[in-house]
Structure 1
């Protein structure tokens, strides 16, 4: 069961993306010109997405993937082009609509608006949660990953905001996004602490690959959890 803080933060994210930042994120995730700050965020997100995709099979025919927090769907589309059956879900209906409209015809993508932890979504071979857990505390991240692991046969690739001096300084100055965006707080967590919590909550799992990407105003750490 999701924690009370998970539910509260999920509601904040839904409000932010649907009422405040839909247009900004539509532009950020397109090829349209953006400011210098957003350009570094776009470049960092592209590098992170390519990293997570590289951790998935090259041939994904017969593979069922959950894109947990799909945003505007770039990763979902790439996985579907490899042959995957993709469930792409996000709390922000405005972003899901953008992803659905952008996706090429004929891809096997089930676009959903809702909670990525919903057990009704079924079982998956792989789950990717790119930058969808960076607004949660470590305990909530681990609770979410544990829930996802119960329905995942292979791997969960997630990203979190690493607690680094540079990131903490930028967050302190409110420089990750222009102040008018009023974006939900990013909650940095310590890498070792998160790994320890995952090990305690999921003794049957093991940590696989990891990679940290720092591109000026974008900092995120990818971690692979093998569920079996």
Structure 2
């Protein structure tokens, strides 16, 4: 699952706009050009109210002279995020699990449902971007998967697990959110109905640190966004310990534009900040793979207006 801060609904965005417009209407001209450009480089599951709140904040500063409020908000975001984690019991993983088991589950279930119509343009864009990343991974897996064992770590609602199982792969799928794993199971049952040669995946609610086993391929898409640099290497190492032959992972790449957007967005509070969103430099991820005895053989990028994800395939050497 990627994600950290889910996209807000259109109505929520409108209310935020109205609140910031107390000193004048917030329009396109109120937002600096660099900010507008940066908003097009948001990573998987990390785009959200950050974009709206950032624009809202700039509108308040530029249009209303709320400089004091801006300066007051310009504190270290990690301090505020830590306070939010403390409110969730001091466990960051628990705060992620709580989010994707509640409000986040309802939101992302709709985003990952191609037939759901109650999504806004940003959510639809993220849906399309995520689907493109899945398509890349499926192309790398190939069609003949009979007997191939796969670990789908952070399976979400089964976007990758289900087509792999329908191709004959034996998939162990897990997600930190029990509702997500259960939804993935329901979607598999619906997709496999009347089909021959399918292998029932094993769906379970479990965080990455507690996964075990040995698999031909370990896949982990749009999950690294929940892990800071200090824990990324350990996460890659743990996943690598379960991969006999290959790993396929995706992450939100660290770019100057989105790093700027993310930093500015963090200056303005909102409930979407219930989980952190971490970006990772591609060279750092590749270095972690190499240290575990893997070599990157394929790489690709998915970039839409509000989804930005780098995907790598690495084989054991």
The answer as to whether partners of 2:220 and 2:248 remain within 8 angstroms in 1 is yes
In structure 1, the gaps of 5 or more residues are 1-6
* Aligned with 2:299 (options 186, 207, 210): 210
- CA distance in structure 2 between the aligned counterparts of 1:61 and 1:174, rounded to whole angstroms: 46
Residue matched to 2:283: 192
* Aligned with 2:208 (options 116, 119, 134): 116
- CA distance in structure 1 between the aligned counterparts of 2:187 and 2:140, rounded to whole angstroms: 24
Does structure 1 residue 36 correspond to structure 2 residue 121? yes
Residue matched to 2:82: none
Give every structure 1 segment of 4 or more consecutive aligned residues whose post-TM-superposition deviation is greater than 4 Å: none
In structure 2, the gaps of 5 or more residues are 1-89, 193-197
1:96 is paired with a residue whose SS is: helix
The answer as to whether partners of 2:237 and 2:288 remain within 8 angstroms in 1 is no
- CA distance in structure 1 between the aligned counterparts of 2:300 and 2:91, rounded to whole angstroms: 29
| Structure (1/2) with the larger helix percentage | 2
The answer as to whether partners of 1:208 and 1:224 remain within 8 angstroms in 2 is yes
Seen in structure 2, the aligned counterparts of structure 1 residues 183 and 220 have a Cα distance that, compared at 3 Å, is: farther
What is the count of residue pairs matched by the alignment?
A: 217
C-alpha displacement of 1:167: 2.0
Seen in structure 2, the aligned counterparts of structure 1 residues 151 and 193 have a Cα distance that, compared at 3 Å, is: closer
Single out whichever of 183-192 and 29-38 deviates more from structure 2.
183-192
CA RMSD after TM alignment: 2.2
C-alpha displacement of 1:14: 0.4
Alignment of 1:53-92 (within 5 A): 53-92=138-177
C-alpha displacement of 1:118: 2.9
Superimposed CA distance per residue, residues 1-50 of structure 1 (whole angstroms, 9 cap, x where no aligned partner): xxxxxx94422210110122111011111121210111111111000011
- CA distance in structure 1 between the aligned counterparts of 2:92 and 2:310, rounded to whole angstroms: 20
Does structure 1 residue 225 correspond to structure 2 residue 308? no
C-alpha displacement of 1:180: 4.5
| Structure (1/2) with the larger strand percentage | 1
The alignment's TM-score, normalised by the length of structure 2, stands at 0.64
